[in-house]
Structure 1
Amino acid sequence: MPNTARWAATLTLTATAVCGPLAGGAHAAPDSVSPGLYAPSALVLTVGHGYSAATATPERAATLNCAPTASGTHPAAIKACAELRAYGGDFDALPDRDGAMCTKQFSPVVVTAVGVWQGKRVSYEHTFANECVKNSSGMSVFTF
């Protein structure tokens, strides 16, 4: 897939993830809490093989919306949102899982997160040596 098409797909997913929760009925129930009270936290997460996002082909993608409630296509959205909240949305601060044993095989895997976290734009990219190393890092956020 050409880079232009990949970026177009990523931007479309990001717009859907960010703007989707904001669209809704014009009338809210009197006892409901307005979604406008929360800073948006909506991300598009991708995983692909390659050295960088510019050269990698995205193989999997998931949306993760964390405000006002956890939702999206991420299989463990509640857990992933809780982990990101615990570390202030800092992907680099997410701890490694204990006890992971990985080979030293070099087959680079790149992960990205694009969107907003608590109202601030996020653009994160990290390359791991292989899939095992990726799965042992960052808790459940990039495990999908």
Structure 2
Amino acid sequence: MGTAITGTGTAQAAPTGLYAPSALVLTVGKGQRPATATVVRAVTLACAPGASGSHPDPVAACAELSAVGGDFARLQALPGNRPCTREWNPVSVTGEGVWQGKRVRWSANYGNPCELRARTGESTVFAF
């Protein structure tokens, strides 16, 4: 580790092994639009330097996001062939924060919770 001189002239260890942070807030809300939906669940998810946060399975969620380069829209391309009823119970989801040092903001809405699970291929990211 290197040292750095502070304003008082004392030496302190400088950080080594810097990394680009990945820290997100994920929400699931009731309503057609993310901006006006009532948030019913929210979790934090940090993927760098390690998987952590209030998400129930941060390791799996981080692995899924890493596999799609942090692109939430590509989670929709995961295989999932689940039949759903045509019940109208709109759900909005959001992912906001930093992914590998870059600010991200994503949202989507679905006709009902089943459609959310079907469209995200049973992904762990929004399974909370």
Relative to the length of structure 2, the TM-score reads 0.81
Equivalent residue, structure 2, for 1:108: 90
Flag the structure with higher helix content: 1
Within 5 Å, which residues of 2 pair with 1:1-144? 34=16, 37-94=18-75, 95-138=77-120, 139-144=123-128
1:26-84 Cα offsets, whole Å, 9 max, x none, are: 879xxxx95x6210000000001101122111000000000011000000110000000
Flag the structure with higher strand content: 2
Structure 1: 4+ residue segments shifted above 6 A: none
1:63-117 Cα offsets, whole Å, 9 max, x none, are: 0000011000000110000000000001111134433121111111000111000
Aligned residue identity for 2:106:
Y
Distance 1:27 1:143 in 2: 40
SS in 2 for 1:104: coil
Q: Structure 1 residues 143, 27: closer, same or farther in 2, change over 3 A? A: farther
Aligned residue identity for 1:75:
P
Equivalent residue, structure 2, for 1:13: none
Aligned residues of 2:80 and 2:119 also touching (Cα < 8 A): no
SS in 2 for 1:82: helix
1:106-137 Cα offsets, whole Å, 9 max, x none, are: 11100011100000001111001100011223
SS in 1 for 2:59: helix
Aligned residue identity for 1:107:
N
Aligned length: 114
Identity across matched positions, percent = 54
Aligned residue identity for 2:125:
V
SS in 1 for 2:48: coil
Aligned CA-pair RMSD: 1.9
Larger radius of gyration: 2
Aligned residues of 1:111 and 1:125 also touching (Cα < 8 A): yes
User: Where does the alignment leave 5 or more consecutive residues of structure 2 unmatched?
Assistant: 1-11
